[in-house]
Every structure is written in C-alpha cells, then in structure tokens.
Amino acid sequence: MAPVLLTALSTLNYRNLEAATLSFPAGVSGIWGANGAGKTNLLEAAYLALTGLTDAPRLEVLVRAGEREAYVRADLFQGGSLSVMETGVGRGRRTTKVDGVRVRGQELPRGSAVWIRPEDSELVYGGPALRRHFLDALLSRLSPRHAQMLTRYERSVAQRNAALKSGENWGLGVFDENLVTLGSEIMLLRRRAVSRMSELAAENNAALGSQKFLGLELVETTTPESFRHDLTRRRGEEISRGATVVGPHRDDLKLTLGDFPAADYASRGEARTIALALRKAELDLLRERYAEPPILLIDDFSAELDPQRRQFLLELAASVPQAIVTGTEAFPGSALELRASAGRFLPELEWPEHLQVQSVTT
Ligand SMILES: Nc1ncnc2c1ncn2[C@@H]1O[C@H](COP(=O)(O)OP(=O)(O)OP(=O)(O)O)[C@@H](O)[C@H]1O
C-alpha cells in the first residue's frame, strides 16, 4: 500500500504564520529557527489540517490577531490518490471540507498524524483529565464508535449535572439509563485499548533505555456491572455536590514507574521518557489500526538533550514514511531543510541576502 504523505500545507491568517503553501517530500523535513519563529504554530496547523484536532482552549486563538478567520489546507496523498482537506476556524465556529465537500470534523482521516511535543511530560505530572483526554482522543481516532459514544456520554453527564444542580431530581432515572448504557460501553472499550497500550508503552519505555518497568492501569470509579447501583448509592452526595461523581468521566489512567506512581516520583527525564513511550504507543496503535504509519510531527527536537531519547527520535523519524521535525538547530538527515523566521519558512538559499545568517570568519 502507498504511504500516507502530506504533500503540501497551506495556511492563511493562522497565528503568526505568513500566508503560504509549503511542499513536503517523503522522508524527514527539518524546520529550524529561533524561538518564537512559528515552528510550533506550523506543526499545530498541520495537525489541525490533517486530523481536525486542536488542543487550543478557544478556536479564536488560532486566528491571527486582528483577523476574523484562519484557514488551513492539507493536500494528502493516501491510498494512491490525492485528497484536499480544508479547515476554517473563527470565533466558536469551524468548517471542514474534504475535496470541496463539507464534512464533520470527525470525518477527517484521524489516523494520519501523531504530534510529539515537549509539553507531553504533562501526561505524567498533570491531572487525570489530561490522561483521560489522551486516552479518549486516541480511542476516538481508533474507533468512530468510541468517538460517538463519548460525545453522547459527555452530553448525558452535562444534562444530568444540570438536573442535579437545578434540584429537578425526579428526572434523574432517565439520565441514569443513558449514562449506564453509554458509560459501560466506554469502560469496556477503554479496558481493551489500555491492555494493548500498556504492552506497547512498556516495550517503548524499555527501548528508550529505562531500567524501570512502566505500568499503565485504568483506575475506574465504577464498573459496568455496578454503575447503576453506584449511581443510586451515591445519589445523596451527588445532589449535595450538583455533579455526577462516578463514571468514566472521573476515571484515571494511572502510570507507575517501577514500584511508584510516576506522577509523584518520576524525575523530569523519566517523565519525558514515559511521555515519548506513550506517544510512540499512540503511533503503534494507529499503525496497527490503519495498516499505514501516520505522519510524524516532532516539535522542538533540540529541547531533547538526553542522547538516548535523541537517538530514539532520530530513528523514529527515519522509520516512518514522512516526518516533520522542528528545532532551533538543523535535524540530521533531513530530505528538506527549511529555516523559520517571523512566520516564514524558506530553504536557506532563498532567504533575501540581507536576512541570511552571515558566517563569521576570524
Ligand atoms: N493568534 C495569533 N496571532 C498572532 N501571533 C500569534 C498568535 N498566536 C501565537 N502567536 C505568536 O506566534 C509566535 C510563534 O510561536 P511558536 O510557538 O510557533 O514559536 P516557535 O518557533 O515554536 O518557538 P519556540 O522555539 O520558542 O517553541 C509567538 O511569538 C506568538 O506570540
């Protein structure tokens, strides 16, 4: 099967990026430049165009200050043909098109990219919500059914919480039915995925040179069998707190390193290794599911000072059909090298002479 490739990325009014279309070859594209040049923004734009996903707290932060709408377009070579995916975002709204036809965001090919970032360490140190989000975002990309269940479950929790807050407790039974049906299925899907993910993450952690075993465990607030009973049992507490206190929306993905919880005991370096092991597990699972490795986006390679993790990233980038890697220095072995400055990305030779880095002779 032909590999999945991002052949071109276009952006307009996207954060600090100058309106442009960049072409990418197969292999590794290295993008380097000073802090604040727009390297992360470029990968974020590529990830949004490819998957429809963004972690931005509000869509309008993606729009260049002073403008009303931003636009990203990915030309994707997949399954032997080219498709054009376009996303437009503005305050609280988004439109997505594939080959000119409007689609819902979930209909984009979600297995097409994995984004590795320095802030992934927060998966270890951050709260349960971050890990739940990691797990559910991945599961939603692996299974449209999970994505659908999750949306409906979250809506049910919100409605139930509103009823609990308003004191309209007579209707809770109807919400409970929905919650138990959807929540139980989510728990089962999560259990299956975590079981495979923990094998892969442990392997990757060892491949990264860690001597300690990385364990992943789903910590559930209830089970499919006892969900209904637990809702009834804790009704008094729920009414006084105005919130649904059991269910998959309160579960955690606990990480242990050796004998200890990683969140409390892992060093910065160990946390970075765990985060990389998790992201690589994400890539492995997407590759297993879609039979094709996703496009790999690696942000700020040069922040990685540890030789073993650097080597791991180098090999990982070389192992997939296409990777785009950013850093403050050139990435070894790139098929394409672009220099970033003030939202512009050009091959070194194409920079106007007065903007080129002067070599200093002593
Ligand atoms: N909506 C926006 N409009 C205009 N500029 C923005 C917007 N959002 C972010 N920026 C600016 O984009 C610039 C580039 O940010 P980016 O995170 O991409 O830099 P970077 O090259 O990855 O830097 P670093 O190496 O420090 O990670 C920042 O200076 C930021 O202020």
- Which atom belonging to ligand 1 lies closest to the Cα atom of 62? 1
Distance CA 167, CA 162 (A): 9
- Give 65 Cα–ligand 1 centroid separation in angstroms: 11
Contact predicate 11/20, CB 8 Å: yes
Q: For atom 5 of ligand 1, which residue has the closest CA?
A: 16
Q: How would you write the pLDDT of the chain (362 residues) with one tens digit per residue?
A: 678 999 999 999 999 999 999 999 999 999 999 999 999 999 999 999 999 999 899 999 999 999 999 999 999 998 889 999 999 999 989 999 999 999 987 778 778 999 999 999 999 999 999 999 999 999 999 998 999 999 999 999 999 999 888 877 777 888 899 999 999 999 999 999 999 999 999 999 999 999 999 999 999 999 999 999 999 999 889 988 999 999 999 999 999 999 999 999 999 999 999 999 999 999 999 999 998 899 999 999 988 878 899 999 999 999 999 999 999 988 888 999 999 999 999 997 666 666 555 444 33
Helix, strand or coil, per DSSP, at residue 255: strand
Q: Which domains does the chain have, with CATH numbers?
A: 1-117+299-362 (3.40.50.300), 119-293 (1.20.1050.90)
- Give 19 Cα–ligand 1 centroid separation in angstroms: 15
Contact predicate 208/277, CB 8 Å: yes
Distances, alpha carbon 105 to alpha carbons 53, 98, 290, 318, in Å? 8, 10, 18, 30
Q: Is 13 in the pocket of ligand 1 (CB under 6 A)?
A: no
- Which atom belonging to ligand 1 lies closest to the Cα atom of 38? 18
Considering only CA atoms, which of 87, 17, 79 is closest in space to residue 59? 87
Alpha-helix residue ranges (DSSP H) falling in the chain: 39-51, 122-125, 128-142, 144-166, 172-207, 227-233, 235-241, 262-265, 268-290, 307-319
Q: For atom 24 of ligand 1, which residue has the closest CA?
A: 35
In single-letter form, the type of residue at position 49 comes to: A
Q: Cβ–Cβ contacts within 10 Å for residue 165, how many? A: 12
Distance CA 246, CA 244 (A): 6
> What is the best residue among 11, 31, 40, 44 to mutate for testing ligand 1's pocket, by most ligand atoms within 8 Å of CB?
40
Q: Is 327 in the pocket of ligand 1 (CB under 6 A)?
A: no
Give the DSSP letter of residue 10: E
The model's pTM is 0.92
β-pairing verdict for 295-298 and 322-327: parallel
- Which atom belonging to ligand 1 lies closest to the Cα atom of 327? 25
Q: For atom 16 of ligand 1, which residue has the closest CA?
A: 38
Task: State the complex-level ipTM.
Answer: 0.97
Displacement of CA 137 from its chain's centroid (Å)? 7
Considering only CA atoms, which of 218, 219, 212 is closest in space to residue 259? 212
Q: For atom 2 of ligand 1, which residue has the closest CA?
A: 15
DSSP characters over 76-130:
EEETTEEEEEEEEEETTEEEEEETTEEE-GGGS-GGGEEEE-GGGGHHHHS-HHH
- Which atom belonging to ligand 1 lies closest to the Cα atom of 328? 25
